[in-house]
Structure 1
């Protein structure tokens, strides 16, 4: 997740350099849009790939295998001397990082107990924010070349540490390997007491058997089964909201937005401030999710997030449409608005759609359902990232932010109304709530 955070926000310091005279391969605005958005095209290929790998070689070895395109992506970026090589590196990186993000979510969901599942899933979002902060600090202090070299450490460190972790009990039981499933859950729960572990093993096994009996065709059942249909509708709306409310495109173009606002603090340092507050927000959100629940946290985050986007849009409306020259008295508004929006994004708006994907579907259709939801998300993010600059020229950046605000409040309220509360429920109990 640290590597994914770095890859996602890499464009923020990289694009200003690549468009400057200092770059060996000065790129045009259109080429910059492709560089920014192709990560999400690669992600779509990764989402098609990982469900088959995950169920054939396991969650653990799929995650280890996906380090290969991650490493290849950074090496290609380091060696790139033309924009087409950068296109390739971004696409490869999207495949490796985004598919791994989906698999690690399923891995965490299957190894964790119900009382800490939400905390662990949101903490993975905190690590994503740590990755963005690391990249932004290195980008501000180091050269473009050294920034790229440093990012090779993330996948290499993962390879050296994760290889010692067990696969999930769900995977072993699905393959009929009860002995390894027991060894895995014994290690994960920190006990060898069979009496404590056996009820959980039995619950997982029964859920897998029930699913296999009723879901011979996962694709068909995903749309025929009433529970799965409702769950799919929820996660598609949540991921459309996440993709179209602007969090990821704002992260991509943060430095450019601050430059356009004319804020007195240097853009690269403004982005670091936003990244720091996002980490703090993620830590707070990881605690609140099991205290106030998913629905309430998501709704209030949507209200605060939409208000923040309206505020940023208002500043640009005054500056660019009404052409008010002296806005020094409210020059802090862009930083305040973007920081507030990214706080609620890190605490709830971005991670909770992932939590819903991983909690609302049983094991037998989880990989397929998550792949569909993630592909929908990436298509939306690719679209709004690619059109960001051109759309702003047509309607004004203030209109763009107001559209993001409308999507944010509408989507979060809809999810609040149609989604059951999953706090403190086992994955098996959640299925009953979907009836």
Structure 2
């Protein structure tokens, strides 16, 4: 797939490639043919960096020395962590055993896991269109609020019985359906947004060090959540796992509303100007 990915306009301009080539690549990345204004902005930014000597290699220390870079790193890292604390990877990874423990009259755990994976695959194609149409910030707030309700509802259907996942007789299918809705909401509406923030918020000159740090922290949290989930499920009960996810989603919605910026329809230069203010 990387063979079909075009070079970034910033890279081409920094290498003094012809303007026609830069314009052609920029048109592939935009939904409009009118890219003259953005072309001028890109050329101005690259020329300014070369004039000011900012083309030098950025270090990890310099990332923390700049106030705006620290702010962007904080926002991106928190968005990735909240994305994981909503139960994204854990529920999908353990969906088969969860369904088997809960019990279902409509197929085994593996069958439901395959069904959810199919939903995830289909939803991923529509995710980019939905995000660009409704915007990042309002979509995140709405989805986190929805997932909060779904998580609390799933936990309520599981009675507090110490160990085990004994359900009331008629609630098994409701719980499974609710979990599928939760996963569908995550992957269809929420999945791409934190990664979009990571690619958009970092200034161009620190992106090569900021993105690895952010993704590295997210990987550590993802590993920790996956390793601790079986213990929480065994010693606290499945209902507490869902309630914890619900509380995380509530905090995520508040954080998104108060801290995360809206980047819909903005160029990288406009986003950086917004962060400066």
Inter-partner Cα distance in structure 1 for 2:173 and 2:180:
11
Higher helix share: 1
**How far off is 1:350 after superposition?**
2.4
State whether residues 295 and 419 of structure 1, in contact with CA within 8 Å, keep that contact through their aligned partners in structure 2: yes
- Closer, same or farther: CA 201–337 of 1 in aligned 2, 3 Å: same
**How far off is 1:433 after superposition?**
0.9
Give 1:360-371 correspondences, 5 Å limit: 360-371=201-212
Alignment-derived partner of residue 42 in structure 2: 204
User: Does 2:51 match 1:178?
Assistant: no
User: Does 2:111 match 1:273?
Assistant: no
User: Does 2:65 match 1:227?
Assistant: no
User: Does 2:153 match 1:311?
Assistant: yes
Secondary structure of the structure 2 residue equivalent to 1:317: coil
Inter-partner Cα distance in structure 2 for 1:214 and 1:344:
45
Alignment-derived partner of residue 338 in structure 1: 179
- Closer, same or farther: CA 164–305 of 1 in aligned 2, 3 Å: closer
- Closer, same or farther: CA 416–279 of 1 in aligned 2, 3 Å: farther
Bigger relative contact order (CA 8 A; separation at least 6): 2
Q: Give unpaired runs (5+ residues) of structure 2.
A: none
Alignment-derived partner of residue 3 in structure 2: 163
**How far off is 1:200 after superposition?**
3.6
Alignment-derived partner of residue 287 in structure 1: 129
RMSD, matched Cα: 2.8
State whether residues 281 and 347 of structure 1, in contact with CA within 8 Å, keep that contact through their aligned partners in structure 2: yes
Q: Give unpaired runs (5+ residues) of structure 1.
A: 1-157
Give 1:37-56 correspondences, 5 Å limit: none
Q: Deviations over 1:291-344 (max 9, x none)?
A: 3211110001001112112222223335x4498967332211222221121122
**How far off is 1:229 after superposition?**
2.3
- Closer, same or farther: CA 185–218 of 1 in aligned 2, 3 Å: farther
User: Does 2:138 match 1:299?
Assistant: no
- Closer, same or farther: CA 323–410 of 1 in aligned 2, 3 Å: same
Secondary structure of the structure 1 residue equivalent to 2:134: coil
Q: Deviations over 1:163-189 (max 9, x none)?
A: 355422222333x2323x742542552
Secondary structure of the structure 2 residue equivalent to 1:263: coil
- Closer, same or farther: CA 280–163 of 1 in aligned 2, 3 Å: closer
Greater Cα shift, 225-234 or 213-222: 213-222
Alignment-derived partner of residue 264 in structure 2: 423
Inter-partner Cα distance in structure 1 for 2:96 and 2:166:
21
TM-score, normalised relative to structure 1: 0.56
Secondary structure of the structure 2 residue equivalent to 1:178: coil
State whether residues 69 and 202 of structure 2, in contact with CA within 8 Å, keep that contact through their aligned partners in structure 1: yes
State whether residues 311 and 333 of structure 1, in contact with CA within 8 Å, keep that contact through their aligned partners in structure 2: no
Inter-partner Cα distance in structure 2 for 1:431 and 1:323:
51
Aligned length: 268
TM-score, normalised relative to structure 2: 0.84
Q: Deviations over 1:337-360 (max 9, x none)?
A: 211211221133321111111111
Give 1:27-426 correspondences, 5 Å limit: 158=1, 162-163=2-3, 165-174=5-14, 176-179=15-18, 182-187=20-25, 189=27, 199-211=37-49, 213=52, 215=54, 216=56, 217-264=58-105, 265-279=107-121, 281-317=123-159, 320-321=161-162, 327-426=168-267
Inter-partner Cα distance in structure 1 for 2:231 and 2:194:
29
State whether residues 285 and 348 of structure 1, in contact with CA within 8 Å, keep that contact through their aligned partners in structure 2: yes
Q: Deviations over 1:60-98 (max 9, x none)?
A: xxxxxxxxxxxxxxxxxxxxxxxxxxxxxxxxxxxxxxx
Q: Deviations over 1:97-128 (max 9, x none)?
A: xxxxxxxxxxxxxxxxxxxxxxxxxxxxxxxx
